[in-house]
Amino acid sequence: MNVVVCVKQIPDPAAPPALEPGTNTLDRSGKLILDDSDAYGVEMALQLVDTAGGGEVTLVSMAPNAETGGLRTALAMGAAKAVLVSDPALKGTDALGTAKVLAAAIKTTQYDLILAATESTDGYTGTTPVQLAELLGLPSVTFAKSVAVDGMTVRVERQTEAGYDEVTVPLPAVVTVTAGVVEPRYPSFKGIMAAKSKPVDQLSVADLGLDGQVGQAGARQEIVDVAASESRTAGEIVVDEGDGAARIVAFLESVKAI
């Protein structure tokens, strides 16, 4: 079974984020790393291919620059190869434009199943995988907390407000996974060394025939204002000297919660 995993390289969430002057889109000019949310899809894909007893995991990603550091992390986990759509014209692309790019790139690969995270950590739009499914004419199941493939059927436990639903869908399909789906492995030294020579195919927007549909203009939306939010100010912060519980009780009394 061949599994495509959509992955995103994002600015390190540990570093303070910033908006670009002019467009007010997220500044992605610094070093990009593999979105932590994507490690779960990569791990799930590796396990499903392993269980199926054959096939491979292909990463599909897009970036406004030729960054591959994050892809190498996922290749080191065990993915076989990557397709990176890399083009300065992609700067400012929105969720639908991203789905168009990923759909076109995925059409160049062999796949039975497409996995993605429920949302990225930097943009958290959460619609790209479903937009992608619609563009590819595939069914989709989002918010998977478990995924199993049984012949040509995928069985998913999908998180719901009340609990979870058991959902079945025939292959090929798109499934988005939560961080509860599997525990990602750490890349081994051998994996890291092997990843250096794994193929990363780089495609441009023109290669995919998507000129004019992506980037800031293709997004058909603009940020018209950015302002500092009315901030909450920190109140009283105290070190517990055995009186922590009593302080909380006093606080709850003061706001008439008890």
Question: Is residue 29 near other proteins by the rule CB under 8 A?
Answer: no
Q: Strand, coil or helix: what is 11?
A: strand
In three-state form (DSSP H/G/I as H, E/B as E, the rest C), the secondary structure along 185-217 is CCCCHHHHHHHCCCCEEEECCCCCCCCCCCHHH
The alpha carbon of 64 is separated from its chain's Cα centroid by a whole number of angstroms, namely 16
Q: How far is the CB of 106 from other proteins (least distance, A)?
A: 14
Q: Single out the segment in contact with other proteins by CB under 8 A; choices: 27-35, 77-85, 129-137, 204-212.
A: 129-137
C-alpha to C-alpha distance for 249 and 256, rounded to whole angstroms: 10
Q: Which of residues 83-112 bind other proteins (CB under 8 A)?
A: 94-96, 99
User: Residue 57 region, left (φ>0) first, then alpha (ψ -120 to 50), else beta?
Assistant: beta
Q: Single out the segment in contact with other proteins by CB under 8 A; choices: 57-65, 69-77, 105-113, 122-130.
A: 122-130
Q: Strand, coil or helix: what is 97?
A: helix
Kindly tell me which of 58 and 178 has the beta carbon lying closer to other proteins. Answer: 178
Q: Which of residues 214-233 bind other proteins (CB under 8 A)?
A: 219-229, 231-232
Kindly tell me which of 110 and 168 has the beta carbon lying closer to other proteins. Answer: 168
Kindly tell me which of 66 and 248 has the beta carbon lying closer to other proteins. Answer: 248
Kindly tell me which of 58 and 98 has the beta carbon lying closer to other proteins. Answer: 98
Q: Which of residues 160-189 bind other proteins (CB under 8 A)?
A: 160-170, 173, 178-180
Q: How far is the CB of 150 from other proteins (least distance, A)?
A: 12
Kindly tell me which of 186 and 255 has the beta carbon lying closer to other proteins. Answer: 255
Structure-block tokens of residue 247: 């302080």
Residue 157, beta-bridge partner list = 146, 166
Exactly one of 21, 54, 209, 234 binds other proteins (CB under 8 A); that residue is 234
Exactly one of 28, 72, 158, 198 binds other proteins (CB under 8 A); that residue is 158
Question: Is residue 120 near other proteins by the rule CB under 8 A?
Answer: no
How many positions of this chain bind other proteins (CB under 8 A)? 80
Kindly tell me which of 65 and 121 has the beta carbon lying closer to other proteins. Answer: 121
Q: Strand, coil or helix: what is 2?
A: coil
C-alpha to C-alpha distance for 238 and 117, rounded to whole angstroms: 39
Question: Is residue 1 near other proteins by the rule CB under 8 A?
Answer: no
Exactly one of 138, 205, 208, 210 binds other proteins (CB under 8 A); that residue is 138
Contact criterion met (CB below 8 Å) for 198 and 75: yes
Which residue from 214, 6, 3 is spatially nearest to 101, judged by alpha carbons?
A: 214
> ∠ at Cα 71 (70, 74), nearest 5°?
95
DSSP structure class, residue 49:
H
